[in-house]
Amino acid sequence: MSSTISPGVRREIFEDFHDDYRESFRKFLQAEVVPHHKEWMKQHIVSRDLFTKAAEHGFLAMAIDEEYGGAGADDWRLNAILVEEAAYAGVMSSWMGPSVHNDLGIPYLLGSANDEQKARWFPGVASGETILALAMTEPGTGSDLAGIQTRAVRDGDDWIINGAKTFISNGINADMVVTAVRTDDDPHRGLSMFVIERGMEGFERGNQIEKLGQHANDTAELFFNDCRVPAENLLGAEGSGFGQLMSHLIPERLSLAVGSAAAAEKALEVTLAYVKERKAFGRPIGSFQNSRFTLAELATKVEMTRAFIDRTVGRYIDGTATVQEAAMAKFWTTDLLWEVCDAGLQLHGGYGYTTEYQISEFWADARVNRIYAGSNEIMKELVGRSLGL
């Protein structure tokens, strides 16, 4: 998909091989995801085959070294392409699972796994046979990571973990859950990361969490009741959890921003097509001044946002992006996506409130993006502090 306002304009952050990769993934989505999207939405979970098929075609675990079955392609722009194209294809919730695997789970393993852990975990992760999830949020703890209460106590060669996590994407499908756990009372130095695996004693999953939107994304609460985890499943040094969490927040928030910007473009495209065809009082509803002004404002915001996001992605690639920029990108794009979807639904009239039209799905899916990866209020707090306020 090209920009709504500037079709065909080459985006400077991408190179020729990225275009080929994008086109290949576009075809993959049409063949392997789009035909199943509605079914997966009804089931509230995607088939595990999606992960293995994505791996076979080079769309999973791209950054894992070839010796473990990955592509050895440490280029975050590939991740951005996947998120964008899923949005353009209208199947964001179906791609959420692989995206969590690629963008949330794998970076922790790449950054902190030792050689033994890499040899043990990476082949399955790279093939898509071992599905990853990341577990931070707790029933009583959202954006405040220092408030994490799930606790681990050393017991010989094991750790005994007690607690619960909630709103965990891939919570049902996941075979390995990268989990933030408290190993000491210090708010920051007392956090550690563990990899908790399917079948471990004391590890249980709740039922699917019924959500307003993103229905193809399986989401669950996880319970650890005297869960026995081998010491060799500690990821990184004991007490390094807070540092690990902080180090991965920029790409996590930027990934959400990239997807939200693309989804806003798609929602605008769908709305434009509708208002040009739908008639009222004998003429297309898009020809009324209110419609024109509303869409003109949204198109301008979308175009300006694309320029900012591409600049921020470029800065992340060259290592100069800041926490404040990622926070700006996250809250701006997710607010804009909601604005575009809400206006788009309004311009669809009563039909916008039916599931017959894509805009209703986009509207429902968009709302949670303002909460994911730290609420937008937290993002504004971070930006405000960077201004010396």
Which sequence positions are flagged as catalytic?
A: 252
Q: What is the distance of C-alpha 2 from the center of its chain?
A: 22
Q: What is the distance of C-alpha 363 from the center of its chain?
A: 17
Local structure of residue 140 (DSSP, 8 states):
T
Number of other CB atoms surrounding residue 31 within 10 Å: 11
The rounded distance, in Å, linking the Cα atoms of 37 and 171 is 19
Summarize the chain as % helix, strand, coil (round to 5).
55, 15, 30
Name which of 297, 300, 321 is nearest 309 in CA terms.
321
The rounded distance, in Å, linking the Cα atoms of 229 and 239 is 16
Q: At what angle do helices 249-277 and 323-348 cross, to 10 degrees?
A: 20
- 196: which strand partners? 177
Two tokens at 359? 């805009």
Q: At what angle do helices 249-277 and 289-317 cross, to 10 degrees?
A: 150
- Helix H or strand E segment including 17: helix 16-32
Q: Which residue has the tokens 């499908």?
A: 173
The rounded distance, in Å, linking the Cα atoms of 182 and 201 is 19
Cβ contacts of 28-36, under 8 Å, gap ≥ 24: 28/53, 28/54, 28/57, 28/59, 29/85, 29/86, 29/89, 29/91, 29/95, 30/89, 33/86, 33/89, 33/91, 33/94, 33/95, 34/89, 34/90, 34/91, 36/94
